[in-house]
Amino acid sequence: MNKPATIKDIAQRLNVSISTVSRSLRNAPDVNMETRQAVIALSEELNYQPNKLALSLRQKQTHTIGVIVPNLDYVLSTMVKGIDEVALEAGYTVMVCQSNESYGREILNTRRLLDSLVDGFIISVSSETKIVDHFKKIQHRGLPMVIFDRVTPDLTAPSVRLDNEEGGFLATEHLLEQGYKRIAILAGPVNLGVSNSRLEGYIKALKKHKIKKDDNLIIYCDFNQDYAYYATRELLAMKKRPDAIFTISDRMAIGAMLAIKEKGLKMPHDIGLVGFNNEPVVSLVTPQISSVDMPSFELGKAAAKLFIETMHNNEDMSHVEEVLRPRLYVRESSRRVMVKTGKGK
């Protein structure tokens, strides 16, 4: 297999210096036209390809974006696809690392991406992360950074997120309008911003309908089907059990559904159920599960567009925040009466 041609090969063939070849390829004005044309012609004949790493180091850019996500489940992998589509169109490569919800692994991923000389970061924070010094180091280096999906008040950076409070409100108000009165919530990890925002929406809907919040109906658990299954079993074993459950993820909704069916209850007659994210699985089970839609692909695209804008903007964009609106899709698991226009389909 032939070795790829180098600048040195072109210089030897034309009996000129390496610097002359380099300046000719850069179209420098101090090289005469005849020499420049000869260099370009020979470089095409030899199929010369410049050393992109060396070029990147000279330009102080690798055109690579480091992306850190908690996991690569359906929602986040769809967001990454959105990031990648915009990045590709803008001439960037995406390097993805997942923290697996681990604070320590998140720190390690940050270090490795910095060592890989990425031009900047697009980050969704892990559920364990309470200290953000490793992200602040990115900012101290002057690299652009965008936070998406899971934002944190401890970082001042451009961000893209869903209006999670509105999503929680839409789900809970829908259940109330369907005649459910005692609504439980599987609220996710207690220290996670998206969990708390969806919980705030739940509480806001209860207040609007003059229903007192019952702490016994608020269950904090991981975004995990098994945790949700056991949490739902406990709820259904209560002397005064809930007549509806709102879970802040669809994985949790599937776990809740398994416990509901095991108990012999029928949806939506005996109990209502609404999830969050609108993953494909909620349309494949029986009954189909109502869910708040997370526009994952669009959110990823918005994060990448904001990153590129930040990358090429000399102005301070740290306070720029883009918020996407959720939409509720009403299905069999919670539909007791006719759905009002605008609440879903």
pLDDT for res 339:
45
Give the Å distances, CA to CA, from 127 to 21, 96, 103, 116, 122: 53, 18, 8, 25, 16
Q: Model pTM?
A: 0.81
φ/ψ of residue 116, rounded to 5: -85, 0
**Euclidean distance between CA atoms 136 and 30, whole angstroms:** 44
pLDDT for res 2:
60
- Write the pLDDT tens digit of every residue in 324-336: 999 999 999 999 9
Low-confidence ranges of the chain (pLDDT < 70): 1-3, 50-60, 338-345
CB 326 within 8 Å of CB 166: yes
CB 221 within 8 Å of CB 177: no
pLDDT for res 338:
56
- Write the pLDDT tens digit of every residue in 307-324: 999 988 888 899 999 999
Single-letter amino acid code for the residue at 308: I
**Euclidean distance between CA atoms 204 and 168, whole angstroms:** 9
Residue ranges of E strands in the chain: 64-69, 93-98, 120-123, 145-148, 159-162, 183-186, 218-219, 244-247, 272-277, 290-293, 321-324, 327-329
pLDDT for res 321:
97
Q: Which domains does the chain have, with CATH numbers?
A: 7-50 (1.10.260.40), 61-162+296-324 (3.40.50.2300), 164-294 (3.40.50.2300)
- Write the pLDDT tens digit of every residue in 102-160: 999 999 999 999 998 899 999 999 999 999 999 999 999 999 999 999 999 999 999 99
Single-letter amino acid code for the residue at 333: S
pLDDT for res 342:
42
CB neighbours (10 Å) of residue 115?
8
pLDDT for res 50:
64
Residue 44: CA count within 13 A, CB half-sphere: 5
Preceding amide of 287 cis, omega within 30: yes
Task: Considering only CA atoms, give the Rg of the chain.
Answer: 27
Burial label for 70, CB within 10 Å (0-12, 13-18, 19+), is buried
Residue with tokens 């697009």: 122
